A and B are shown apart, each in its own frame.
Chain A
Amino acid sequence: DIQMTQSPSSLSASVGDRVTITCQASQDISNYLNWYQQKPGKAPKLLIYDASNLETGVPSRFSGSGSGTDFTFTISSLQPEDIATYYCQQYDNLLTFGPGTKVDIK
């Protein structure tokens, strides 16, 4: 089974800050990596697919990069509406989600 780790588990940042979340796979998953945003009481929302592709309609301040085992998710300028938990997810071998990163406003 492929295990996914994320860091940090939570962070607080100011509006306008650049926010970076990392995700690591326990083995090479090529670019089979997606990022989701989940707000309390809501279903997750796909933001980035195949490691670096922005889903249609998602603001360009969100971006992703990486391949193999190490991936990065970035919010270039944090906005109040970005308060949420962010999950990475691999689909190279079945599917596994990372444990999530909770993002708050400082």
Chain B
Amino acid sequence: EVQLVESGGGLVQPGGSLRLSCAASGFTFSSYWMSWVRQAPGKGLEWVANIKQDGSEKYYVDSVKGRFTISRDNAKNSLYLQMNSLRAEDTAVYYCANGRGAFDIWGQGTMVTVSS
């Protein structure tokens, strides 16, 4: 079964850090760009970052540049998002998704809450 499973979300104080993980199965993970997309409570979708198959290219939305780092481990079929200097406005459900353009596989999402 083709699947993406996120983990690592939780409650963190402003200024804190969190590392999200996404485990892939059922498809050739190393062949795909991978992305993180987030959705604040009651709001729309926002693309956060993506990474090329070999990790040589990474792109970020302006609001997270310098604070978030996307990475991957193809040997472990895993995608990561290291989030530092977290702000209240980073509160959202974070989804991992396959691809660089059209996302046809999504995880179930993991909730990140930034609050004191």
Q: Which residues of A contact B (CB under 8 A)?
A: 1, 32, 34, 36, 38, 43-46, 49-50, 55, 85, 87, 89, 91, 94-100
Contact = CB atoms under 8 A, between A and B. Distances in A.
A97 B35 contact: no
Interface residues on B, range: 20 to 34
B25 to A, nearest CB: 16
B44 A43 contact: no
A94 B108 contact: no
B1 to A, nearest CB: 15
Interface of B: 35, 37, 44-47, 50, 59, 61-62, 95, 100-104, 106-109
Contact of B45 (A1, A49, A97): A97
A44 B47 contact: no
B107 A43 contact: yes
A96 B47 contact: yes
B44 A32 contact: no
A49 B102 CA distance: 6
B95 A95 contact: no
Contact of B59 (A43, A49, A94): A94
Given A1-B62, A94-B59, A95-B50, A46 B45 contact: no
Given A43-B107, A43-B109, A91 B46 contact: no
Contacts of A55: 102, 104
A38 B39 CA distance: 11
A100 to B, nearest CB: 5
A34 B101 contact: yes
A27 to B, nearest CB: 17
30 contacts: A1-B62, A34-B101, A36-B103, A43-B106, A43-B108, A43-B109, A44-B37, A44-B45, A44-B95, A44-B106, A46-B103, A46-B104, A49-B101, A49-B102, A49-B104, A50-B102, A85-B44, A87-B45, A89-B47, A91-B100, A91-B101, A91-B102, A94-B59, A94-B61, A95-B35, A95-B50, A96-B47, A97-B37, A97-B47, A98-B44
